């Protein structure tokens, strides 16, 4: 039965892409400003619907100011989860650009593909600074890797320096926590359950994606913490540490039983 579900969801996914991708290509030929995120935002919502990703939003994301959203990273499935909530460009490791299907679709989101090499740090900072100069908001997975969903790896501070430019008077930083609440209808209280969504360590994508697609989906909580003004920091490492502390607090906070009950009843 699960294989039939996988096939149905795959057909729906590619049919949805066949509708939306040509429209996005045309739109990007004409416009690459904030309006070019409208179709990807709708597309990501559709992907969440197809794969059974239910998103609980806690807190208020900044929409009226240019923002760098600093998030923890659990899975490649974080992309549609966040993309269904935010109209912004992701920052992804360079290897993602060569992934089949996902690499192409990432380009439609105007993703910035960067190297994590120290030798490339200045060049990557300049490329991201150019995107900020264009007025784009960015989504940064600051750990530089993905985890199992119960902790947050130390944040790499090098990319935080792009927010310290004195010319960006209105730029804000907002820490964001991604937390697994349920997978396949089960509370995510064991690693086996969490790993149906989480993609980390030496996991390979095809079997993980097949297993997730054959299931009932997941409930992911996206917690938006209080925004921070980069101008109040003189040290990028201090800024990174404060963002890390905020994101980690969302992982360790207790689950609201009333919200989980409402999701289970949905």
Q: Contact 164/238 with Cβ under 8 angstroms?
A: no
Residue 224's φ and ψ, nearest 5 degrees, are -95, 115
Res. 120 pLDDT band, cuts 50 70 90: low
Residues in Cβ contact with 155 at an 8 Å cutoff, skipping those fewer than 6 apart: 70, 142, 143, 240, 241, 243, 244
Residue 263 is given by DSSP the state H
CA distance 7 to 14: 11
Query: Domain of 40: which CATH number?
Result: 3.40.1130
Q: pLDDT digit string (tens) for 80-91?
A: 999 999 999 998
Position with higher pLDDT, 184 vs 253 = 184
Alpha helices in 134-233 (DSSP H): 191-194, 205-213
34-43, 140-149, 181-190, 239-248: least confidently modelled range: 34-43
CA-CA distance, 221 to 55, in Å (whole number)? 6
pLDDT of the residue at 107: 79
Contact between 23 and 39 (Cβ < 8 Å): yes
Predicted confidence (pLDDT) at residue 123 exceeds the cutoff of 50: yes
Q: Which of 162, 183, 161, 163 is nearest to 173 (CA)?
A: 163
The structure tokens listed for 129 are 């600074």
Q: What's the rounded Cα separation, in Å, for the pair 225 and 192? A: 28
| CA triple 123-84-60, angle to 5 deg | 90
Look at the chain and report how many structural domains it folds into. Answer: 1
pLDDT digits 0-9 by tens, 36-65 = 888 999 999 999 999 999 999 999 999 889
Q: What is the pLDDT of residue 167?
A: 73
Query: Which whole number is the average pLDDT over 223-233?
Result: 95
Residue 225: domain span: 2-265
| 209: pLDDT strictly greater than 50 | yes
Q: What is the dihedral of CA 207, 103, 4, 80, to 10 degrees?
A: 100
Phi, psi of 121 (to 5 degrees): -55, -45
Q: Spell out the residues 6+ positions from residue 114 whose beta carbon is closer than 8 angstroms to its own.
A: 91, 92, 93, 94, 120, 124, 127, 128
């Amino acid at each position: 039965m699960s294989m039939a579900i996988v096939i149905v969801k795959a057909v729906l996914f590619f049919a949805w892409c066949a509708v939306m991708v040509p429209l996005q290509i045309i739109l990007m030929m004409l416009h690459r400003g904030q309006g070019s995120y409208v179709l990807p935002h709708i597309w990501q919502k559709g992907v969440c619907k197809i794969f059974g990703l239910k998103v609980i939003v806690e807190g208020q994301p900044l929409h009226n100011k240019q923002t760098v959203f600093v998030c923890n990273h659990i899975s490649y499935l974080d992309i549609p989860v966040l993309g269904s909530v935010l109209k912004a460009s992701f920052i992804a490791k360079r290897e993602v650009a060569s992934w089949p299907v996902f690499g192409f679709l990432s380009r439609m989101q105007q993703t910035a593909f960067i190297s994590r090499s120290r030798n490339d740090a200045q060049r990557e900072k300049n490329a991201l600074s150019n995107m900020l100069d264009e007025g784009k908001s960015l989504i940064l997975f600051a750990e530089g890797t993905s985890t199992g969903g119960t902790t947050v790896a130390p944040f790499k501070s090098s990319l935080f320096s792009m927010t310290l430019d004195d010319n960006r008077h209105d730029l804000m930083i907002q820490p964001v926590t991604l937390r697994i609440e349920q997978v396949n209808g089960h509370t995510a209280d064991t690693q086996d359950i969490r790993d149906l969504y989480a993609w980390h360590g030496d996991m390979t994508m095809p079997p993980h994606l097949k297993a997730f697609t054959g299931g009932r989906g997941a409930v992911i909580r996206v917690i938006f913490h209080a925004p921070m003004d980069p101008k109040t920091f003189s040290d990028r490492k201090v800024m990174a540490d404060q963002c890390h502390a905020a994101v980690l607090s969302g992982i360790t906070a207790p689950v609201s039983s009333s919200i989980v009950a409402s999701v289970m009843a949905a």
